[in-house]
């Protein structure tokens, strides 16, 4: 009696294991979704404000109503990466889904925190996947942000050289980090980018610790013309402020990547969510909430923004070069104050 | 009632060790008004604080009414609040956050006495110190003398075995001090509590105490009644510290009847106090108010002649500064009934009954 | 004679027990983050659990000329704003506590309001008031100045110091006002009856008595000035004035490499630690002779306000000017901003665009309720713990002869030198590893972070009052038969209540605005109101952030007014609060 019970249990366990192994090879999205529905919430580390994240999750739940997603907002990309590392070191796991910049994602991958992904299984376009551990889900694109009351349409620089015109002296602003020039160095080469930056510094730009308040200051008219991000200029524009944008060629940008952690508590859910974010529908929903979409996915505003322009960005594999240039350029830009 | 044995308190600072109380032993009787008298820094307050348990001595034993409260050898101390004492502080330590009645009633509140009963006793005690009308005022609104009474009432109400008083009158002005001194004495008599009183003021000590311990440099120099300490101190320091005393170095000569004859720089003097010191006497003194002006023709012993150098008139008394024929200066305090003026030739007598022999080095 | 046996406890045990308990608690709160900070500073990656050891972070930080340049700028800023805040704070505290200035209760409420304003909002308010191109003051004065010229430029070192002074003045006031209140009026009167003029009295009587408080306030303000970021970040950075804290923010968020650079941050924090140790040492030396500062002895204590007479008009002008600059103007600008759809200068053209949408958004926010609830719990708990702990620490340090009290004092001041970010990092490790205490991601971890961060302010404030309190007041209680606990409850706490309440209010208001550790420690359901505000701010919605800020200020008004009303009522029955 006892023996048969044991045997029965063993058999059941074996079939379950076999079944699980079999499906893991090519699990269709629907199966993953079904599995995810029983799991714990998908914890997602991302930098958008909670209200925006709510909209994304709402849209996601329209397609996948049974998968719960918990968004935790972590601002400051480096802190996001540090937190994921800390959590993994101390308790063995971090969030399920991780969204961050190239340097953060590659840093996490170096530490073996990220899961290998099968793009085919998740139905993700391969151009979104420079490697097998991450997916390009959005981009921060540098544009000129200007006050349309103070700067007329035909005055706005149409090239990076126009930006250096004397008339902008004391009227222009920039993020305190020279990241846009560091990215331009990819298209122009370091020397040209550095020269441009040095010329720009002579205009006595106002330096902002974040491009969000900078865009607001453009709206308020304290600064007439600034080098900022497309997405951080959206809030004043949407609120009706006299702020307009212009993308220059080449267009520097940062791609934003999303990965799944190795020890994800609900890996199936994370996969479904990632797959959705990489889809046109999901990406548009993401963009609608955060103003950042993937330039690689047709139909997004970000795609249209850089359409026909030369995109300038260091490849993730070149992060080292980018870091060195970036640090040097930051120093040059910071020198703008000392020159005053 | 209160026994202190070999009490020792040491302060160790970065630079030095300082012996604040150096092997003190005292025994205070039930109902006694006992005063620790000495100059500042003599260790009297430290001793009092040790009794209260506010200071932890390094050595010795203290017991109150037969119950040990501190024992250095066993390393045990009874905390202040468990000791059967109450205390009046130099600064009164009236709690500004409480009313007069709350201040006075606090020891009863601690005992867990009910409000109504507490109030009854508080009222009675306040009546005793004449503060009935102030009961519900904030304690901070009182004058200095009134605050002193509150502090006293608060100490008395606890009905502890031992009442400790740390220079309670030193913050009052002279007039009030004298008045409070009398009140304090009456109160202690009425309540009958054993009291330990710390002061540097000899007048206070003499007028209040049953017995006085004179302290100096962390040691008890001499213990005695006010009468004894004033009239026949055994110790040079006591003689100097209590009252005015002019000490004359002397060489003992011989016993003469119930007195002892000593040689001083101004002649032979017969002394009748502390004659038991005999050959060991090093000094002799007579209080200025005991020195008498006598008829120059007088033939009595201990008579010196001299000239008045200066006078200080203070109403009741006149202080004379007299220079004797052998260039010795003497102070004399005499009644103002018979005034003398500087330059007068006078004869002085040092009554043998008031001439005190002392041993030791000044 | 000695028949009965002694029932007391071993005094050696009694002497050590409180120290050991307090040291244990403080070591847990302070030493743990400190050790993690020090470990971070010698780890190649700055992550304490990563392998390897290195001194490179120190070598790089301290061999970089930019570090010393920034340190110089930071000192100018810190010293300048400490001086400014002290000048305002001392005058305010004296006017409110010791003179017949009109409407003192009202003044006391008003002076504390800027404290609840997150500094980033105060800074942005000042940008709108005095920026060279669009600042309100410059706009209305432009007819006088002529085209293209401006009177004020808030983007400057002077501007930073000015705004930081305004922002630190309430803190200074809170530290100093209990000290002023407890000052023995006899001292003042003695000076006055001996014919001393007002300035002689201040110099000869008040300054010496207030010396420990002033010293503590100065030390505290200097440390705040060294570490603060928002105001120099908003007002200095645009024109290239960089302070050490901006370097920390850079290392945390933006440094290339992908990971927050905790290594160099920790190495830099050692610099702050050294400065803090020097300040502590100086304070201990200066206040060694504690009895010199006793001013509340339990003798006659009647406060008779100093009659300002012909100084009344200047005093009222000074107070009004301060309120105008620190409270009215910034709050007015915040109200304006909160009603605007986007950040816009004050102008008639914008009036038609006014909207309540920002305020509505805050109340419609599904997280607003739980964030408010969290903030109330966190603020109330942290403030109460800090206030009680501060009294206990001060009692041990100033009053008791407990061994190790200098160490206790140091431990309670140290957290000031640890950047909030590093406290967050440390607590993250501690509670991630301590599986038995599952508070990671909850409000409790934030309470612990705040207690750690604010204990320094708390103890500095209660120290001063404890120094002023005569030990005899406690001894009298013990001699009356009261035990330690009752003595604390009936004597020490009531007499230090002004300071305790000051600490409480200060901590609550800072909990209402603190971000660096709250952000780092936030999980899914421990969000606080400032994090919400921060969300709006960093999401590019300063107008909504202003709306939230205004509601925080309103909460502050209610809190401080309640305090005033309660203490005024308390005074009627003779309890000073």
Q: pLDDT (tens digit, 9 = 90+) per residue, C209-254?
A: 778 888 888 988 998 888 888 888 888 888 888 888 888 878 877 7
Q: How confident is the model at residue C265 (pLDDT cuts 50, 70, 90)?
A: confident
Residue C227 exposure: Cα atoms within 13 Å on the Cβ side: 25
**pLDDT recorded at residue C309:** 80
**Does A78 contact C252 at a Cβ distance shorter than 8 Å?**
yes
Q: What is the pLDDT of residue B224?
A: 94
Query: Which chain B residue lies closest to C494 (C-alpha atoms)?
Result: B97
Spell out which residues of chain C touch residue B53, defining contact as CB-CB under 8 Å: 478
Confirm if C421 and C252 have CB atoms less than 8 A apart.
Answer: yes
CB contact under 8 A, C240 and A90: no
Query: How high is the mean pLDDT of chain B?
Result: 88
Pairing assessment for the beta strands B246-249 and B283-286 based on DSSP bridges: antiparallel
For residues A236 and A238, what is the distance between their CA atoms, to the nearest angstrom? 5
Give the other-Cβ count within 10 Å of C296's Cβ. Answer: 21
User: CB neighbours of C327 closer than 8 A, spacing ≥ 6?
Assistant: C110, C111, C113, C114
Check residue C545 and give its pLDDT: 86
Read off the pLDDT of residues C513-541 as tens digits, 9 standing for 90 and up.
776 667 667 776 777 887 778 778 777 78
C10 vs B70: CB contact, 8 Å cut-off? no
pLDDT for position C569 = 62
DSSP letter at B354 equals: G
Please state which architecture CATH assigns to domain A140-253+309-336.
Answer: 3-Layer(aba) Sandwich (3.40)
Q: C570: burial class by Cβ within 10 Å (0-12, 13-18, 19+)? A: middle
Classify the phi-psi angles of C491: left when phi > 0, otherwise alpha if psi is within -120 to 50, otherwise beta.
alpha
Confidence of residue C2 (pLDDT cuts 50, 70, 90): very low
Tell me the residues of chain B between 246 and 275 that have a Cβ less than 8 Å away from chain C. none
Three-state DSSP state, B303: strand
The CB-side HSE value for C158 (13 A sphere, CA atoms) comes to: 6
Contact A217 C523 (CB under 8 A): no
pLDDT confidence of residue A243: 95
| Domains of chain A by residue range | 22-138+254-304, 140-253+309-336
Higher pLDDT, A203 or C428: A203
Of A52, A86, A222, the CB nearest to C432: A86
* Tokens matching residue A43: 């914890």
Contact flag for C and A (3+ C-beta pairs < 8 Å)? yes
Contacts of B80 in chain C (CB under 8 A): 475, 478-479
Distance (Å) from the C-alpha of residue C23 to the closest C-alpha of chain A? Answer: 27
Mean pLDDT of chain C: 82
Residue of B61, B76, B103, B171 to mutate, testing the C interface (most C Cβ within 10 Å of its Cβ): B76
Task: List the single residue in B71, B89, B140 with the smallest CB-CB distance to C476.
Answer: B89
Q: Residues B138-160: what's their mean pLDDT?
A: 86
pTM beyond cutoff 0.80: yes
State which H helix or E strand residue C518 sits in: helix C516-521
Mutation choice for B interface testing from C481, C485, C499 by most B CBs within 10 A: C481
Q: Facing residues of B85 across strands?
A: B162
Q: Is the CB of C476 less than 8 angstroms away from the CB of B78?
A: no
- Write out chain C residues lying below 8 Å of A54, CB-based: 366
Residue A181 structure tokens: 């020039």
Question: What is the structure's pLDDT at C298?
Answer: 59
* Superfamily of segment(s) C56-293+311-354: MetI-like (1.10.3720.10)
What mean pLDDT is predicted for residues C441-460?
A: 88
What DSSP line would sit under A258-326, residue for residue? EEEBTT-TTHHHHHHHHHHHTSHHHHHHHHHHHS---TTSTTSHHHHHHTTS-EE---GGGHHHHHHHH
Select, from the ranges B304-318, C71-85, C255-269, the one with the highest average predicted confidence (pLDDT). C71-85
Give me the total of CB pairs closer than 8 Å, taking one residue from chain B and one from chain C.
147
CB contact under 8 A, A77 and C49: no
* pLDDT for the residue A300: 92
Low-confidence ranges of chain A (pLDDT < 70): 1-27, 337-340
Q: Residue A96: its pLDDT value, please?
A: 94
Counting CB pairs under 8 A, whether chains B and C reach 3 or more, is: yes
Mean pLDDT of chain A: 87
| pLDDT tens per residue across span B249-278 | 888 888 888 889 898 888 888 888 888 887
Provide the pLDDT confidence category of residue C187 given band limits of 50, 70 and 90: low
DSSP string, B49-77: HHHHTSS--SEEEEEETTEEEEETTTTEE
Written as one string, the DSSP assignment of C222-239 is: HHHHHH--HHIIIIIGGG
Show which of residues 92-151 on chain B sit within 8 Å of chain C, judged by CB atoms: 92-99, 106-107, 110-111, 137-144, 147, 151
| Chain centre to alpha carbon of residue C243 | 20
Sorted by sequence, the CB contacts under 8 Å of residue B307 that are 6+ apart come out as B322, B323, B343, B344, B345, B346
User: CA C363: distance to chain centroid?
Assistant: 29
Give CA–CA dist A184/A187, Å, rounded: 5
Domains C16-54+356-577 and C56-293+311-354 are alike in CATH topology: yes
Neighbors of chain A with 3 or more C-beta pairs under 8 Å:
C
Residue B218, min C-alpha distance to chain C (Å): 22
Would you tell me which CATH number, out of the four given (1.10.287.310, 3.30.300.30, 3.40.50.1240, 1.10.3720.10), belongs to the domain C16-54+356-577? 1.10.3720.10
Question: From the CA of B114, how many Å to the nearest CA of chain C?
Answer: 16
How far off is chain A from C386, nearest CA to CA, in Å? Answer: 28
Q: How many CB atoms lie within 10 A of CB A315?
A: 12
Chains that touch B (3 or more CB pairs under 8 A): C
Distance from CA of C408 to the nearest CA of A (A): 30
Out of A155-159, B50-54, C402-406, which region has the weakest mean confidence (pLDDT)? C402-406
**Topology annotation, domain A22-138+254-304:** D-Maltodextrin-Binding Protein; domain 2 (3.40.190)
In the A/C pair of chains, how many CB contacts fall below 8 A?
187
C311 class by beta-carbon count within 10 Å (0-12 exposed, 13-18 middle, 19+ buried): middle
Distance of alpha carbon C152 from alpha carbon C137, whole angstroms: 8
Burial class (CB in 10 A: 0-12, 13-18, 19+), C79: middle
DSSP code of residue C350: G
pLDDT at C180: 82
- C456-468: per-residue pLDDT in tens? 889 988 888 888 8
Taking only the tens place, the pLDDT of each residue in C67-93 is 898 899 999 999 999 999 999 998 898
Neighbours of A17 (CB within 10 A): 10
DSSP, res B317: E
% of chain B exceeding 90 in pLDDT: 34
Taking the CA of residue C543 and the nearest CA in chain B, the distance in Å comes to 47
End-to-end CA distance of chain C: 49
Nearest CA in chain B to C473: B93
Tens digit of each residue's pLDDT (9 = 90 or more) over A216-242 = 989 988 899 999 999 999 989 998 899
Spatial distance between the Cα atoms of B154 and C103, rounded to a whole number of angstroms = 39
DSSP state of C250: I
Domain ranges across chain C: 16-54+356-577, 56-293+311-354
Chain B touched by C193 (CB under 8 Å): no
Q: Is the pLDDT of residue C16 over 60?
A: yes
Chains meeting C at 3+ CB pairs closer than 8 A?
A, B
């Amino acid at each position: 009696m006892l023996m048969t019970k044991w045997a029965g249990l063993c058999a059941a366990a074996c079939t379950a294991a076999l079944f699980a192994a079999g499906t893991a090879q090519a699990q269709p999205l629907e199966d993953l979704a079904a599995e995810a529905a029983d799991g714990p919430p998908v914890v997602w580390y991302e930098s958008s404000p909670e209200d925006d994240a709510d909209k994304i999750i709402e849209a996601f739940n329209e397609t996948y109503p049974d998968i719960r997603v918990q968004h935790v907002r972590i601002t400051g990309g480096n802190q996001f990466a540090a937190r994921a590392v800390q959590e993994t070191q101390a308790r063995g796991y971090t969030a399920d889904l991780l969204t961050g910049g190239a340097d953060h994602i590659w840093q996490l991958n170096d530490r073996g925190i990220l899961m290998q992904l099968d793009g085919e299984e998740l139905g993700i376009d391969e151009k979104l996947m420079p490697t097998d551990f991450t997916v390009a889900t959005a981009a921060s694109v540098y544009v000129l942000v200007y006050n349309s009351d103070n700067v007329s349409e035909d005055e706005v620089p149409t090239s990076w050289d126009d930006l250096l015109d004397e008339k902008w002296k004391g009227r222009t602003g920039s993020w305190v980090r020279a990241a846009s020039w560091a990215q331009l160095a990819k298209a122009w080469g370091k020397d040209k980018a550095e020269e441009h930056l040095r010329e720009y510094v002579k205009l006595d730009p106002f330096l902002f610790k974040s491009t969000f308040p900078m865009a607001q200051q453009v709206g308020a008219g304290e600064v007439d013309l600034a080098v900022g991000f497309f997405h951080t200029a959206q809030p004043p524009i949407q609120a009706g402020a006299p702020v307009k944008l212009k993308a220059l060629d080449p267009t520097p940008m940062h791609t934003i990547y999303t990965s799944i952690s190795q020890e994800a508590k609900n890996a199936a859910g994370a996969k479904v969510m990632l797959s959705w974010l990489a889809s046109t529908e999901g990406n548009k929903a993401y963009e609608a909430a955060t103003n950042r979409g993937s330039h690689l996915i047709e139909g997004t505003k970000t795609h249209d923004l850089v359409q026909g322009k030369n995109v300038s960005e260091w490849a993730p594999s070149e992060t080292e070069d980018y870091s060195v240039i970036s640090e040097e350029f930051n120093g040059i830009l910071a020198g703008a104050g000392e020159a005053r | 009632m209160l026994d202190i044995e070999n009490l020792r308190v040491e302060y160790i600072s970065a630079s030095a060790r300082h012996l604040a109380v150096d092997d003190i032993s005292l025994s205070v009787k039930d109902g006694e008004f006992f005063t620790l008298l000495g100059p500042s820094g003599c260790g009297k307050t430290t001793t009092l604080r040790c009794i209260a348990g506010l200071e932890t001595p390094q050595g010795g034993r203290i017991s109150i009414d037969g119950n040990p409260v501190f024992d250095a050898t066993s390393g045990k101390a009874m905390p202040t609040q468990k000791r059967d004492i109450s205390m009046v502080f130099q600064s009164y330590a009236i709690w500004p956050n409480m009313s007069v009645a709350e201040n006075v009633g606090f020891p009863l509140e601690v005992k867990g006495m009910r409000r109504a009963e507490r109030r009854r006793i508080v009222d009675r005690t306040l009546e005793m110190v004449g503060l009935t009308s102030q009961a519900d005022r904030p304690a901070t609104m009182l004058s200095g003398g009134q605050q002193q009474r509150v502090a006293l009432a608060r100490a008395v109400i606890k009905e502890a075995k031992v009442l400790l008083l740390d220079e309670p009158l030193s913050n009052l002005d002279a007039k009030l001090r004298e008045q409070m001194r009398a009140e304090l004495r009456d109160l202690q008599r009425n309540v009958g509590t054993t009291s330990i009183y710390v002061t540097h003021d000899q007048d206070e000590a003499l007028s209040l105490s049953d017995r006085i311990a004179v302290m100096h440099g962390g040691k008890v120099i001499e213990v005695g009644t006010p009468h004894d300490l004033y009239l026949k101190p055994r110790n040079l320091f006591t003689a100097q510290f209590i009252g005015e005393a002019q000490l004359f170095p002397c060489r003992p000569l011989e016993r003469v009847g119930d007195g002892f004859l000593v040689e001083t720089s101004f002649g032979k003097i017969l002394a009748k106090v502390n004659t038991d010191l005999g050959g060991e006497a090093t000094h002799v003194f007579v209080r200025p108010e005991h020195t008498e002006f006598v008829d120059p023709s007088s033939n009595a012993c201990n008579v010196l002649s001299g000239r008045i150098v200066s006078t200080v008139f203070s109403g009741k008394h006149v202080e004379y500064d007299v220079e004797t024929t052998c260039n010795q200066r003497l102070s004399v305090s005499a009644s103002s009934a018979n005034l003398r003026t500087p330059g007068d030739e006078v004869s002085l007598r040092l009554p043998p009954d008031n001439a005190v022999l002392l041993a030791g080095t000044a | 004679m000695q028949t009965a046996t002694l029932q007391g406890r071993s005094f050696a045990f009694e002497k050590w027990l409180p120290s050991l308990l307090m040291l244990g608690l403080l070591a847990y709160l302070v030493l743990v983050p400190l050790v993690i900070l020090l470990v971070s500073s010698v780890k190649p990656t700055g992550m304490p659990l990563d392998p390897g050891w290195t001194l490179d972070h120190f070598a790089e930080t301290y061999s970089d000329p930019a570090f010393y340049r920034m340190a110089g700028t930071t000192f100018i800023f810190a010293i300048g704003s400490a001086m400014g805040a002290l000048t305002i704070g001392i005058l305010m505290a004296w006017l409110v506590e010791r003179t017949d200035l009109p409407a003192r209760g009202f003044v006391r409420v008003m002076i504390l309001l800027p404290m609840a304003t997150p500094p980033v909002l105060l800074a942005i308010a000042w940008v709108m008031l005095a920026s060279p191109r669009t600042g309100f003051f410059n706009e209305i004065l432009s007819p006088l100045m002529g085209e293209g010229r401006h009177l004020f430029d808030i983007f400057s070192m002077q501007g930073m110091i000015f705004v930081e002074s305004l922002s630190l003045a309430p803190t200074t006031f809170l530290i100093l006002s209990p000290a002023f209140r407890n000052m023995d009026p006899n001292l003042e009167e003695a000076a006055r009856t001996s014919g001393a003029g007002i300035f002689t009295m201040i110099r000869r009587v008040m300054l010496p008595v207030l010396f420990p408080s002033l010293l503590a306030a100065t030390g505290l303000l200097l440390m705040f000035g060294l570490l603060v970021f928002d105001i120099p970040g908003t007002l200095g950075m645009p024109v290239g004035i960089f302070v050490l804290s901006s370097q920390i923010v850079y290392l945390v968020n933006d440094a290339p490499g992908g990971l927050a650079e905790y290594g160099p941050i920790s190495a830099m924090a050692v610099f702050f630690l050294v400065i803090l140790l020097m300040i502590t040492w100086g304070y201990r030396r200066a206040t060694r002779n504690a009895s010199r500062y006793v001013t509340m002895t339990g003798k006659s204590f009647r406060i008779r306000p100093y009659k300002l007479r012909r100084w009344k008009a200047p005093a009222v002008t000074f107070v009004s000017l301060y309120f105008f600059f620190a409270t009215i103007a910034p709050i007015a600008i915040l109200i304006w901003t909160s009603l605007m759809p986007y950040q816009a200068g004050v102008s008639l053209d914008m009036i038609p665009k006014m909207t309540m949408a920002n305020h509505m958004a805050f109340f419609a926010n599904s997280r607003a309720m739980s964030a408010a609830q969290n903030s109330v719990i966190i603020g109330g708990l942290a403030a109460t713990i800090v206030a009680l702990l501060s009294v206990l620490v001060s009692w041990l340090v100033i009053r008791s002869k407990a061994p190790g009290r200098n160490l206790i004092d140091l431990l309670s001041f140290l957290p000031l030198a640890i950047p909030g970010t590093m406290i967050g990092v440390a607590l993250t490790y501690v509670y991630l590893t301590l599986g038995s205490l599952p508070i990671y991601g909850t409000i409790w971890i934030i309470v612990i972070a705040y207690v750690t961060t604010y204990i320094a302010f708390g103890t500095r404030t209660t120290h001063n009052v404890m120094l002023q309190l005569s030990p005899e007041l406690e001894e009298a209680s013990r001699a009356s038969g009261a035990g330690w606990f009752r003595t604390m409850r009936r004597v020490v706490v009531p007499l230090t209540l002004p300071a305790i309440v000051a600490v409480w209010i200060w901590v609550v208001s800072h909990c209402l605005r603190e971000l660096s550790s709250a952000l780092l420690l936030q999980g899914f359901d421990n969000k606080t109101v400032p994090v919400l505000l921060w969300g709006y701010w960093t999401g590019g919605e300063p107008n909504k952030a202003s709306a939230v800020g205004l509601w925080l200020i309103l909460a502050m008004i209610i809190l401080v007014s309640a305090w005033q009303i309660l203490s005024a009522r308390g005074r009627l029955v003779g309890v000073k609060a």
